[in-house]
Amino acid sequence: MGEGTLFAPDFSPTCYWHDLTPPPELSPGAQPGRAAAVVIGSGYTGLHAALVIARAGQAVVVIDAEDAGWGCSSRNGGQVSAGIKPGFGELVRRHGELHARTIVTEGRDALAWLGAFIETEGIHCDYRVCGRFHAAHSPQAYEKLAKGLERLPPEFRDDSFLVPRDRQGNEIGTEIYHGGIVQARNAALDPAQYHRGLVDRVVAAGATVAPRCRATAISRHGDGVVVATSRGTITARHVVVATNGYTGRLLPWLRRRVIPIGSYIIATEPLDPAMTARLFPSGRVVTDSRKVVYYYRVSPDGTRVLFGGRVSGGETDPRKSAPPLKAEMVRLFPALSATRVSRSWMGFVAYTFDTLPHIGARDGIHYAMGYCGSGIAMGSWLGMRLGQKILGREEGRTAFDILRFPGRPYYYGRPWFVSAAVSYYRWRDRRESKATL
Ligand SMILES: Cc1cc2nc3c(=O)[nH]c(=O)nc-3n(C[C@H](O)[C@H](O)[C@H](O)COP(=O)(O)OP(=O)(O)OC[C@H]3O[C@@H](n4cnc5c(N)ncnc54)[C@H](O)[C@@H]3O)c2cc1C
C-alpha cells in the first residue's frame, strides 16, 4: 500500500479526539508545597480520587509528568464496558462463586455509575448507551460465547443476547464474522471531552492540577510522605499513584506487576454518513473475540471509522501502526479500500498477570491500576473508591481489595515477551479464522 493511498492529505500522527478537545490549558505556576494528598497521574483514576478528596474539603495536588490527561485517558477508543476480562467460569475457578459474583457485580456497578456520574455532573462528552457487538472470529468462538452466556447467573445476563451469523447483518456490515453477542448496556463517549469535564470539576472543587511536573521520588516522613518532583517537593499526608501503563522506575514494586502494552487506533478521513450507517447499522461499538483484539466504532458525528487494535507490542510510531490497522479494516470492510487514514495514534495500557484491575496500599502508597485496556469505567470507579478510602470511608471497599497483586519472577517492568506473545497470538487467531473459511 503506497503512502499516497494510505494517508489522507491532512494526515497527522496525532489523536483524533484532540482535534476537538486539545489538552487543558492549566497554568504551570507555583504549586503548593503542602497538601492533604498528592495524586500522581492526571487520568481518570487520579482525577476521580482527587475529586472525592477535594469535595470533602481537603487540599489536593494532582501532578502529571506531561499535559493533564496525556496518558490513555484522553486518547482511548471511547468504548465503555464493565471492564472485567476473565469470564465468570474462570473467576469462579480462581476465587470461588461468592467472590466471582462480587467482582462481576462491581464491574456492572462501575458501568452504571459512570453513566449516572456523567449525567449528574452534566459533562458533555457524547455519552451514549449504544451497546456493544462482540463478534466471533470463528464458529468455535461463537460456541464459546454461547456457553459463556449460558453459564452466567441469570442476574448477569439480563442485558446480553446472542446474534447468530444469519442475523449479524443487523449489527455489522461484514460477512467475516460467525455471529456474536450484544451487551446492550455498554456505551460510547468522547474520551477527551470526558477527561476535560473531569479536570474542570476537580479544579472547581479546589484542587490544583499541575501539568509537566514529574514525580521523581517518594519518601516516608513521619505520618506522611514527601514527593520530590521536577518542580519542587510536596509534603502530604497521603499519596495516590495513578500511573497505569506509564508506571515507571519511581515505584519498582508496582512496575513489576503491570505490563505496558501498546494499543493503536486510526481515524479515517470523513465518509458519507450513509456509508458508516451501512457498516454499523445498529450504531453499536464493536470488538471481536480474537486474542489480539480489534475494537472499532463510528465517530460521534457519524462520519469516520475509528479502528483500533493491538497490532504491535511496543511500536511507538503511529505511521508504522497505521498500515496493519488499515489492512485489517479493509479485510473486514472492503468498501473502505480507497478510504485514507487521517489520524493515527497509540498509547500504553496496563495489563496484569491475572488480567484483573488492582487497588490497594503498600508502604502507605495508595494505588489503582491494571485495567487491561478497559479502564474508562473501571479506572474512574476505582479512582473514586481510592478517594473514599483515603477519607477513611466505609464505602471505599471494593471486591478487588483482597486480591493478591501478582508479579512474575525475573519480570522487572520491561515486557520483553510482549512482541513475541502478540505475534504468536496473531498467528493463532489467523489459524482459527482460516480453519473455518
Ligand atoms: C489507544 C487506546 C485505546 C483504548 N481504548 C479503550 C476503550 O475503548 N475503552 C476503555 O475502557 N479503555 C480503553 N483504553 C484504556 C483506558 O484509556 C485506560 O485504562 C485509562 O485511561 C487509564 O486511566 P488512568 O488514569 O489509570 O491512566 P492514564 O490515563 O494512562 O494516566 C496515567 C498518567 O500518569 C502520568 N505519569 C506517569 N508517571 C508519572 C510520574 N512519575 N509523575 C507524574 N506523572 C506521571 C502519565 O503522564 C499519564 O498521564 C484505551 C487505551 C489506549 C491507549
DSSP string, 259-317: EEEEEEEEEEPP--HHHHHHHSTT--EEEES-SS-EEEEE-TTSS-EEEEE---SS---
Counting from 1 in the atom list of ligand 1, the atom nearest the Cα of 66 is 47
| Residue written as grid cell 473514586 | 384
Q: Of 385, 339, 336, whose CA–CA distance to 358 is shortest?
A: 385
d(CA 433, CA 437): 7
Helix (H, G, I), strand (E, B) or coil at 133: strand
Report DSSP letters for 57-126, one per residue. T--EEEE-SSSTTTTGGGSS--EE-----S-HHHHHHHH-HHHHHHHHHHHHHHHHHHHHHHHHHT--S-
- In the three-class reduction of DSSP (H, G, I as helix; E, B as strand; rest coil), residue 346 is classed as strand
Q: Do the Cβ atoms of 329 and 336 come closer than 8 Å?
A: yes
- String of b and e for 342-365 (b: at least 16 CB within 10 Å)? bbbbbbbbbbbebebbbbbbeeeb
Specify the ligand 1 atom closest to the Cα of 375: 19
Q: Whose CA is nearest to atom 2 of ligand 1?
A: 76
Cα-to-centroid distance, 437 and ligand 1 (Å): 37
pLDDT reported for residue 81: 98
What is the whole-number distance in angstroms between the Cα of residue 228 and the centre of ligand 1? 22
State whether the beta carbon of 67 lies less than 6 angstroms from ligand 1: no
Q: Ligand 1 within 6 A of 63 CB?
A: yes
Query: What pLDDT does residue 437 have?
Result: 45
CATH of the domain at 306: 3.50.50.60
Q: Residue 156 C-alpha to ligand 1 middle, in angstroms?
A: 28
For position 324, what pLDDT does the model report? 94
| Rounded distance from Cα 424 to ligand 1 centre (Å) | 26
Q: Ligand 1 mean position to 349 CA, how many Å? A: 6
Pocket of ligand 1 contains residue 66 by CB under 6 Å? yes
Closest CA to 130 of 79, 90, 66: 79
Per-residue model confidence as pLDDT tens for the chain (437 residues): 555 589 999 999 999 999 999 999 887 667 789 999 999 999 999 999 999 999 999 999 999 999 999 999 999 999 999 989 999 999 999 999 999 999 999 999 999 999 999 999 999 999 999 999 999 999 999 999 999 999 999 999 999 999 999 999 999 999 999 999 999 999 999 999 999 999 999 999 999 999 999 999 999 988 899 999 999 999 999 999 999 999 999 999 999 999 999 999 999 999 999 999 999 999 999 999 998 889 999 999 999 999 999 888 778 999 999 999 999 999 999 999 999 999 999 999 999 999 999 999 998 899 999 999 999 999 999 999 999 999 999 999 999 999 999 999 889 888 878 777 777 777 787 777 765 54
Nearest atom in ligand 1 to the alpha carbon of residue 350 is 19
pTM for this entry: 0.96
Ligand 1 atom 44, closest CA: 64
From the CB of 215, is ligand 1 less than 6 Å away?
Answer: yes
Q: Determine if ligand 1 sits within 6 Å of the CB of residue 374.
A: yes
Ligand 1 centroid to Cα of residue 237, in Å, is 25
Q: Which of 349, 369, 384 to mutate to test the pocket of ligand 1 (most atoms within 8 A of CB)?
A: 349
Kindly report the backbone phi and psi dihedral angles of residue 288, in degrees, each rounded to the nearest multiple of 5, phi listed first: -130, 170
Q: Provide the residue type at 326 as one letter.
A: K
Spacing, Cα 151 to ligand 1 middle (Å): 32
Residue 46 Cβ < 6 Å to ligand 1:
yes
CA atoms within 13 A on the CB side of 133: 28
- Cβ-contact 96, 158 below 8 angstroms: no
- Give kind and range of the element (H or E) at residue 135: strand 132-135
H or E element at residue 328: helix 318-332
Structurally, the chain folds into a number of domains equal to: 1
Instruction: Note the pLDDT of residue 43.
Output: 98
161 alpha carbon – ligand 1 mean position (Å): 31
User: Letter for the amino acid at 210?
Assistant: A
Distance from residue 374's CA to the centre of ligand 1 (Å) = 10
Nearest protein CA to atom 50 of ligand 1, as residue: 76
Which set of grid coordinates corresponds to residue 134?
462482540
Query: Does 76 contact ligand 1 (Cβ within 6 A)?
Result: yes
* Domain boundaries, position 66: 3-435
Q: Which atom of ligand 1 is nearest to the CA of 377?
A: 11
**Cell triple for residue 228?**
520530590
Q: For 222, how many CA atoms within 13 A lie in the half-sphere containing its CB?
A: 4
Taking the C-alpha atoms of residue 411 and residue 33, their distance in angstroms, rounded to an integer, is 35
**Residue 216: its H or E element:** strand 215-221
Q: Specify the DSSP class assigned to residue 246.
A: G
* Amino acid at site 103: I
Count, in order, helices (H) and strands (E) of the chain: 12, 19
Which atom of ligand 1 is least distant from the CA of 348? 53
Distance 362 CA to ligand 1 centre (A): 21
Compute the distance between CA of residue 163 and CA of residue 179 in angstroms, rounded to an integer.
Answer: 5
Q: CA-CA distances (angstroms) from residue 401 to 43, 52, 102, 305?
A: 21, 19, 11, 38
Query: Does ligand 1 come within 6 angstroms of the Cβ of 211?
Result: no
The answer to whether 151 and 159 have CB atoms below 8 angstroms apart is: no
